[in-house]
Each structure stands twice: as structure tokens, then as C-alpha cells.
Amino acid sequence: MATLDLASIGLKVGFEIHQQLATKTKLFCECSCSETDKYGYAFTRKLRPTQSELGIYDPAAVFEFKKMRTTKYYSAPGSSCLVEADEEPPHEVSKEALESALVFSLALRSRIVDEVHVMRKIVIDGSNTSGFQRTMLVANGGFVEIADKQGIKRVGVQTICLEEDAAKLISDGETAREYGLDRLGVPLVEIALEPISGTPEEMVQVALTLGRLLRASKRVARGLGSIRQDVNVSIQNGPVVEIKGVQQLDQLAKVIEHEAKRQHGLIMIADRIKAAGVSLEQIGDRLEDITNVFSQSDSSMVKKILSDKGAIFKAIRIRGFAGIIGFEPYLGIRLGKELGELVRFYGLGGVFHSDELPGYGIDEKQVKDVRDRLQASSRDAFVIVGGRQEIVEYAIQAIIQRLKAAMAGVPAETRAATSDGRTVFSRPRPGAARMYPETDIPTIPVSESMLEPLYGLVPKSWEQEINLLAAKYGLNRKLAEQVFDSDYLALFEEICSSQKADSKIQPTFVASKLTEDIVSLRRQKLDVSSLTEDMIREIFERLARGVITKESVPLVFEKLMKKEVGSVNDAISALGISVLTDAELDKALDKVIRDNMPAIKQKGMGSIGMLMGRSMAALKGRADGNRVNAMLKEKLEKLLASS
């Protein structure tokens, strides 16, 4: 298998950053932007694609429609109203949100349009109750300055748009999808950058810098899912693959690298197809229903598919393709895998190809029968797909199209980033965005007098913000950067400012708990979202009251992130870490002394270090170190004096 030289393949990456704004209301109504997981009233809808001129539809849209999925929406009072339910026309664009978009445009020296027009961008997967996302172009052009080892370089801005966020996917079943309406309509700023070349690490620096600039404005939401990056990746001037849903920056470099490798692998596969001399017509030139060949199969996969009513298996002949579908130029990169991901889009699980058969419980005899039916020679390949008939028909067309596209190398498509840094097929690339004007909302002229007061709101640079933060709270630079880049800056400032003058809780302590401790727990794959800001507030409040010790803070974090308990109270009692009373501590230390009498007799006061260690271990953070030390010393002195 080959190894990839990233520098030699003409890698280009364009970022599209979607940043939620921290506005009081949503973009088109007065609902609050706060997310919830407690829903009330629910209703169902079915979207259908609107016909464009001449009865022409987007094929992906037609497929979604054919599935005739029902979408169920859950609402929550306060965070959704008739506007989100698509039962009331949108209100005017939130002034606060538009102001933020304009401030960012000024900060990026982008050319603001003279009049903003709200558009409807068709989205019929159900994530918008209306069937479109409302979006408006605010500015074109401009640049973001990136500091790297060579100095300052500029990355061009293509567009800055203000748009509404989609509903939150709760579940995705075979026949119905469920969404929460709380996130629908939250204002987002979308900034698209010019494609750049460089190493994945340099690219991550671009995304990081832009994210920091937005955060420095203090106008953006923080927390999980508040910033999402779409990444457009191409190599050797090939088609652009759009990758959605990269949430963590530390995952970004990996995703880019994987996608570059995948695309290069596809080009190597295309070369092999060319070498085999296959022509387009030879792909899928014969289809056979082979349900009866498989009806006696012992394969559990086959059995499972056939147990569905109306399920069939069909085989597709691909002439001259033997060995190509299973060819793996890089580890994990092969056409067979691409086909598997593709049929999943159509809700099918079963796809097999001749390079992997016999296998999966499909035996020699059945493979031969399929070959005979298809009149396929040993130089030909075949693909078998099973499921409900009407879906299989769609999937077959899609498979043939995909294999034909393989001759050209990389198909333009939309892919999703996985949590382990790979990308998987999510849908065919939609055609040019299908947009038409949102006639319910008047156009908004942007005059110089409207921009005038906004110049003063252009955020300071990230550097300046870090220096200010470090000085204000006496943090070292690294900690200041960590807090600033984290989701907890506002919470950090709130906790620090709520401390009494004589508080022993220093900003440095708060900052390190909110960054280093949480990051290290996240690295252990624990769920950050189950440790809510309210819980963190409560933990520090208990610490301030002396109910728990500093040492216990990360233990409580961990307990909550493991979801073993649902409240701070339960975490503290489950851990048994509430601070000991003097009598309890007295008793506990007496036991440590008793257990270590031989050493005490031998070393006298010199044993205090060892005793301290044993005591702290036994107390599991239930008493402060200074207090333990003082009491231990007193006891030891008394003991030694009396003996």
C-alpha cells in the first residue's frame, strides 16, 4: 500500500464557518435561543419539493420526497413559537443579529452590500419546518490575517451571510425523523473563506484564527455545537467535496488528511480502471433479479434482509472490473466501501461485490449462480444489493452512477466527518443552491449612518484580548489563552467576580479547572455536555462555602460527565466527599496514627510527611490539606510528648 505525500497532490481547502450568535432572541422571532432537552407539544409534517420550471427537480430532493418521510417536531415554550412551527410569517430580522454580522464584516474588511435581501434556500430533509433556510448575503470579499512562522499572511473572505440555524435532530428512524425546534431560527453567521493550500496544520491555524476573531467580539455563542465548520476539500484541481459537521478543531487536521488520502486513492483507482480499458457502457450493462439464488442462503445478513416483506436481491454486472472494487490503494480506501456508504443513504444495509465473495455466508455455488445469471466472465465484477424493491431500484441507479463516476476519480459530494476523523458519504452534492426571495420580509438598506456606530464595536485582536484577560485575573499567558478559547470564558468571569474579597478561590484555580481538567476528562471520551454550566456554578459555590475541598472539584466533574449521577448533590454524596467535621477528622486521623505506630515510634516527628500522605489518601479530599496538616502535627506532638 502507498504512503501519501500531502505536499505533492495539490491539496486545497476552503472553510465555511458557521457561528451561532449570542443574541437575546432568534433571527426571525422573539423566542429565546437557549437549547433544551425537555419538550412539550409535538406535531408532524411532510415536506414536498417545490416544482421548478419545466418539472425539473433536484434528484436528491426527489429521492427524499419518494421516501415520503414524516417529520416530527417537538416544541418547547419560550424557545419556540408559531414562527418556528411555520404557522406564522417571520418577524423582522433581529437588529442585534444583523449588527453582529455587520461588525464581523467590518472586522474582515468585507464589502457590505447596500441592501440586504433575505432568501429562501431550499432544504427538504426536514431540518427546517418551512422547507427552506432563510439566509441573507451581508458582505463580499475581505480577508482574515493569519500569523504564522513566516509572518502575517492573508486568507481571502468570499462571503459573509446571516442565516437561521436548523432544527436539532433528535432521532432518525426508517420512516420518521424527529427534530427539536429550540435550535431552529438561532442566528448564525456563515463566513466562507477562499480555498487555500498548505499543510493541514496551517489550515487548522486559519480556522482557529477566524474563530478567535469572532470570539473576541463577545457577540457569539459558546458551548457545544455553537461553532461548526464545513470544509471543502479538493486535490489536483479536482471536484470539491464538502465535509460537514467538524465540531472540534483538534479533529480538523485529521479529517483533512483523511479526505486528501481518500481522494488521492480514488484517483489511483481511476487509473487502474483506465488501465483495464473499461468503457462507460460496460458498467451496469446487465441487471438480474437473483432473489431465488439467495432464498436458500445460510448467510445471516441475507436472511435478515429477506425477512423484510417485499425484499429482493439484484445483481449488477460491471464488465472488466474484476479486482477493482476491492482494490485498496490506501488502508481503508476502496470502492467497495464507498458503495456501502452510498446504499446506506438509501436506507439499505446489504451490498456485496464479487471481490469479497465468497464470504459473508454466501458460498461458492451461489457466487457461480450469480455469475451465470449475469453471464459474467472472470474478468467482470458484480455488485449485489438487497432490500425493498422500490428502494433497490433507486440504489442500483445510484451504484451504477457511482461506479461510472469512479472512472473520473473523485465525485463531487457532501460527506460527514466522523468522530474518529474520517469522512463518510452523506448525500449527492446538491446542484447550485436553489434560492428564491423571502417575500415575507422587506429588504434592508444598509446606509453609512447605520454603519457609523458599528465601527467602534469592531473586536480587538485576539492578542489584545488575551493580554487584558491575563492582566485582569493574574493568569499566566497559557492559561489566559486556554480560558479564552474554551467554551467557559463567560462562566469563568462570572465565577471569579462572584467571589468574596477574602475568598481562597483564585482565578488561576478556576481557570485551570475549567480548561485543563475538563479537557483531560474530554480526552477520556467523557461527555462534556452532561456537565452543565449550572452544575459548574453550583460546584464552585459549594467550594466557596467549604462544603467540598479544592481537591474534590475534578472528582465531581468526572462523576457528572460519566453520567453516573444527575446532580451535584448526588455526585458529592456518591463520592462521599463532603468535608469532614472536626470530630470526624479527629477520628480518621487517630486511625491513621494507630495504623502507623511502628513508624512513628521509629521516626518521631520525622514521620509527619508519611502520615500526611496516608491521611490525604484515606480522606479522599474530604478535608483541606492545611487543616489535616495542622491537626496531625498537634496530635503527633501530643503523642510524642506523652510517650
Partner 1 sequence: MPESNGGYRGASYELLSAKGISVGDSIIIRTSDSEVAGLLMPRYESAGADHIVIKLKSGYNAGYEVSKIREIIKVPAQEGHQYQKLSNPIVASQVKDTLPQLALISTGGTIASKVDYRTGGVRAALTASELYSSVPELARYASIEPEMLLNEYSENLGPEQWTLIADKIAEKVRSGKYSGVLVSHGTDTMHYTASALSFALQNLPVPVVLVGAQRSSDRPSSDAALNLLGATIFAASSGLTGVFVSMHAGTSDDVIACHTGTRVRKNHTSRRDAFESIDASPVALIRGDSIEVQNPHPTGQIAVKNKAAYSVTGENFTARTRFDKRVALMKFYPGFDPSIISWAVSAGYRGIILEGTGLGHVSRACFPSLQAAINSGVLVCMTSQCIWGRVRMTVYDTGRDLLDMGVIPLSDMIPETAVVKAMWALANTKDLKEAKDIMQSNIAGEISRSIPI
In the complex, which residues of this chain contact partner 1 (CB under 8 A)?
43-59, 62, 70, 82, 85-89, 111, 113-117, 119-122, 124, 129-132, 135-137, 140-141, 159, 161, 431-437, 439, 442-443, 445
Among 11, 13, 33, 83, binds Zn ion (CB under 5 A): 83
CA nearest 307: which of 291, 319, 322? 291
Residue 10 or 77 having the CB closest to Zn ion: 77
Residue 129 or 482 having the CB closest to Zn ion: 129
Residues in the chain: 643
Task: Give the type of residue at 552.
Answer: S
Q: Is the peptide bond before 358 cis (omega within 30 degrees of 0)?
A: yes
- Please report whether residue 186 would count as binding Zn ion according to CB under 5 A: no
Cβ–Cβ < 8 Å for 195, 13? yes
For residues 5-64, which are near Zn ion according to CB under 5 A?
29, 31
The distance of closest approach from Cβ of residue 317 to partner 1 in the complex, given in angstroms and rounded to an integer, is 22
Alpha-carbon distances, residue 117 vs 167, 185, 329, 432, 446 (angstroms): 23, 17, 48, 18, 11
The distance of closest approach from Cβ of residue 435 to partner 1 in the complex, given in angstroms and rounded to an integer, is 4
Give bridge partners of residue 154 from the DSSP assignment.
145
- Residue 86 binds which entry of Zn ion, partner 1, none, CB below 5-8 Å type-dependent: partner 1
The distance of closest approach from Cβ of residue 160 to partner 1 in the complex, given in angstroms and rounded to an integer, is 11
What is the distance in angstroms between the CA of the first residue and the CA of the last residue of the chain?
Answer: 76
The distance of closest approach from Cβ of residue 449 to partner 1 in the complex, given in angstroms and rounded to an integer, is 13
The distance of closest approach from Cβ of residue 569 to partner 1 in the complex, given in angstroms and rounded to an integer, is 40
The distance of closest approach from Cβ of residue 555 to partner 1 in the complex, given in angstroms and rounded to an integer, is 47
- Residue 132 binds which entry of partner 1, Zn ion, none, CB below 5-8 Å type-dependent: partner 1
Segment contacting Zn ion by CB under 5 A, of 77-85, 151-159, 262-270, 447-455: 77-85
Residue 82 or 490 having the CB closest to Zn ion: 82
| All cell numbers assigned to 345 | 443513504
- Residue 47 binds which entry of Zn ion, partner 1, none, CB below 5-8 Å type-dependent: partner 1
- Residue 81 binds which entry of Zn ion, partner 1, none, CB below 5-8 Å type-dependent: Zn ion
- Residue 443 binds which entry of Zn ion, partner 1, none, CB below 5-8 Å type-dependent: partner 1
| All cell numbers assigned to 179 | 427534530
The distance of closest approach from Cβ of residue 85 to Zn ion in the complex, given in angstroms and rounded to an integer, is 8
Check the CA dihedral 576-581-583-586 and report its sign.
positive
CA nearest 538: which of 496, 569, 570? 569
Residue with cell 506532638: 637
- Residue 62 binds which entry of partner 1, Zn ion, none, CB below 5-8 Å type-dependent: partner 1
- Residue 323 binds which entry of partner 1, Zn ion, none, CB below 5-8 Å type-dependent: none
Strand pairing report for 118-122 and 132-140: antiparallel
Segment contacting Zn ion by CB under 5 A, of 84-92, 165-173, 310-318, 370-378: 84-92
Class of residue 499 by CB neighbours under 10 A (exposed 0-12, middle 13-18, buried 19+): middle
- Residue 435 binds which entry of partner 1, Zn ion, none, CB below 5-8 Å type-dependent: partner 1
The distance of closest approach from Cβ of residue 171 to partner 1 in the complex, given in angstroms and rounded to an integer, is 18
Task: Give the type of residue at 252.
Answer: L
Residue 84 or 413 having the CB closest to Zn ion: 84
CA distance 297 to 478: 62
φ, ψ at 463 (rounded to 5°): -55, -50
| All cell numbers assigned to 347 | 436506507
CA angle 114, 120, 123 (to 5 degrees): 145
CA angle 222, 421, 127 (to 5 degrees): 55
Could you list the residues that contact Zn ion (CB under 5 A)? Answer: 29, 31, 81, 83-84
